Amino acid sequence: MDAKAWEKIDGLIDRDRGKTIRDRFAEDPDRARKFSIDAAGWHLDYSKNRIDGEMMNALVKLAEKSGLKEEIEKMFTGKKINETEKRAVLHTALRNLDPGATIKVDGKDVMPGVRRVLAAMGDFSDAVRRGEWRGFTGRRIKYVVNIGIGGSDLGPVMANLALKPYAKRNMKFFFVSNVDSTHLAETLREVKAAETLFIVASKTFTTQETMSNAEAAKEWLVEKLGDKKAVAKHFVAVSTAKDEVAAFGIDTKNMFGFWDWVGGRYSLPSAIGLSLMIAIGRANYKRMLKGYWKMDRHFRTASFKRNMPVVLALLGILYANGYGAESYAVLPYDQYLARFPAYLQQMDMESNGKCVAKDGSSVEYTTGPIVWGEPGTNGQHSFYQLIHQGTHLIPCDFIGCCRTHNPIGDLHDKLTANLFAQTEALAFGKTAEECRKEGVPEELVPFKTFEGDKPTNTLLCDELTPETLGALVALYEHKVFTQGVIWNIYSFDQWGVQLGKVLAKGVLGDLTAKKASGRHDASTNDLIARYRKANGRPA
Ligand code: G6Q
């Protein structure tokens, strides 16, 4: 981070010590207008933060000093900014709907491939939805099971729920990710083999969890339908690895490809979104891409001061690095966004959970925060207490929609009232004086006083649609990117994930071999021994 730019920010934090968000609103009643941005169907109100115009200018300076403008251009134009893996980072190409766009990687335009796969996905999902693609015994496909994990699972899971109002209700969608056999077993209990399509979604097609589940699902299907040839009608693949797909036994005609420049956690708008496209249809899927694209263009062209992802990123940095906040909460007030916090957890924590700067040295400041959250109002009845009165500072993003897809009485008004009321209470708190005025007995005043001054952002859209969902995802993608640039870390690799993929293999040998090797530490050896004993295996 640029030291001089940061010094200025630190100075302003010091200068304003003791000044609360309540004071700031009293000083400047025009804050809501000044500190809000509209883009791609979303309204961001960031006025309930510990900021003023000077602080925002200082934060913007930090972004400018980081070379953000140039980095954005590098990303959008296909430069290999994922340097540790020597890859371009081009998820923005997947939703570039400009028919004349060309984006080159190693001298080759990637756009024709993007359009070709999108068209193939469209044809395939039309065929499944219309009942033209049938199972081996001639039955219509009614169940779709996506087998994938991490980036090949969380996006489809999140979006399938988010866009349920647009989905075909006479089909059912399942997502198997965990290598825990219960996940697959419980799913298979819900489906009928002759009417089930399995989508094996894996960029590498070597991931232990996915391949084990896919093999088990294949065995189950063959057993149920009594013919190996059935696999061709019930399994398709989404991958970058043609040979592995063929080796698994899937005809590569039924493989939907993507490219090494699509990171797993950024892959929802690639062929990884196939299950979603089957659910909502190609037209709605395209609407989602359009929403992404709108936010992409906003991010690329708006001035930093009026740039929604940049402003969100800078506020996050203010609290992480200036106030020592270790986490932030994402609180969607829309049941359809119930899986959004989990999706964001991967996007943010896998991208910016890094302690090494781009030059290989250790960073001397906090980087990626812990992300967590649950849909409102459920969270209000569990962990909000800590946000209101605990000792940790937890900035929150509240996400809401002005209209619901399911109007029932005044439920939506109540939901939204809770959202707004929470941001108000967090910002303004309740003083001891106010408690007394309400007649709170003196001995209870300390407990019923709310300090307030808790920062929140509010994101509002008219309605959760394919467009607004796409824009929301792109908003956070670019926020995370911006923070990575300012922290000077590589946001697009994930060596920690790779480590996990290798480690388990070593232990697996010891769980299943005739004899355990005993080559681990005392604790791990003991755990292995207990497991072996419980399963009747010799020590
Ligand atoms: C995402 C990560 C990781 C990945 C999974 C699945 O950015 O790289 O979550 O998506 O490990 O990998 P495959 O798609 O290769 O099975």
Known active-site residue 381: yes
Question: Is 395's C-beta closer than 6 angstroms to any atom of ligand 1?
Answer: no
| Separation between Cα atoms, residue 184 and residue 211, nearest integer Å | 12
Q: HEC states along 379-409?
A: HHHCCHHHHHHCCCCCCEEEEEECCCCCCCC
For residue 107, the tally of other CB atoms under 10 A from its CB is 5
Q: For residue 148, what are its two tokens?
A: 């994938």
CB 428 within 8 Å of CB 453: no
Question: Strand pairing of 172-176 and 143-147?
Answer: parallel
**Ligand 1 geometric centre to CA of 437 (Å):** 56
Question: Is 155's C-beta closer than 6 angstroms to any atom of ligand 1?
Answer: no
Q: For residue 96, what are its two tokens?
A: 């570039």
Number of residues that this document lists for the chain: 539
* Rounded CA Rg of the chain: 25
Write the residue with the smallest CA distance to atom 1 of ligand 1.
264
| Separation between Cα atoms, residue 350 and residue 495, nearest integer Å | 9
Q: For residue 278, what are its two tokens?
A: 């089957």
3-state secondary structure of 451: coil
pLDDT at 502: 82
CB 342 within 8 Å of CB 329: no
CB 213 within 8 Å of CB 147: yes
Q: Which residue has the tokens 């081009």?
A: 90
| Separation between Cα atoms, residue 25 and residue 407, nearest integer Å | 34
Catalytic residue, chosen from 86, 381, 505, 514, is 381
**Ligand 1 geometric centre to CA of 225 (Å):** 31
pLDDT at 8: 98
Q: HEC states along 33-73?
A: HHCEEEECCEEEECCCCCCCHHHHHHHHHHHHHCCHHHHHH
- Ligand 1 atom at shortest distance from the alpha carbon of 350: 7
Question: Is 202's C-beta closer than 6 angstroms to any atom of ligand 1?
Answer: yes
Write the residue with the smallest CA distance to atom 9 of ligand 1.
150
**Ligand 1 geometric centre to CA of 349 (Å):** 14
pLDDT at 15: 98
| Separation between Cα atoms, residue 161 and residue 339, nearest integer Å | 8
Q: Would the CA dihedral through 154, 284, 313, 50 be positive or negative?
A: negative
User: Of 292, 329, 309, which Cα lies nearest the Cα of 482?
Assistant: 309
Residue-by-residue pLDDT tens, the chain, 539 positions = 899 999 999 999 999 999 999 999 999 999 999 999 999 999 999 999 999 999 999 999 999 999 999 999 999 999 999 999 999 999 999 999 999 999 999 999 999 999 999 999 999 999 999 999 999 999 999 999 999 999 999 999 999 999 999 999 999 999 999 999 999 999 999 999 999 999 999 999 999 999 999 999 999 999 999 999 999 999 999 999 999 999 999 999 999 999 999 999 999 999 999 999 999 999 999 999 999 999 999 999 999 999 999 999 999 999 999 999 999 999 999 999 999 999 999 999 999 999 999 999 999 999 999 999 999 999 999 999 999 999 999 999 999 999 999 999 999 999 999 999 999 999 999 999 999 999 999 999 999 999 999 999 999 999 999 999 999 999 999 999 999 999 999 999 999 988 887 888 889 999 999 999 999 999 999 999 999 999 999 98
Strand partners, 173: 144
Question: Is 91's C-beta closer than 6 angstroms to any atom of ligand 1?
Answer: no
Known active-site residue 8: no
Known active-site residue 195: no
Q: Which residues contact 323 (CB under 8 A, 6 or more apart)?
A: 13, 50, 393
- Ligand 1 atom at shortest distance from the alpha carbon of 151: 10
CB 329 within 8 Å of CB 459: no
Q: Which residues contact 403 (CB under 8 A, 6 or more apart)?
A: 412, 462, 463
For residue 400, the tally of other CB atoms under 10 A from its CB is 23
| Separation between Cα atoms, residue 336 and residue 530, nearest integer Å | 42
**Ligand 1 geometric centre to CA of 202 (Å):** 7
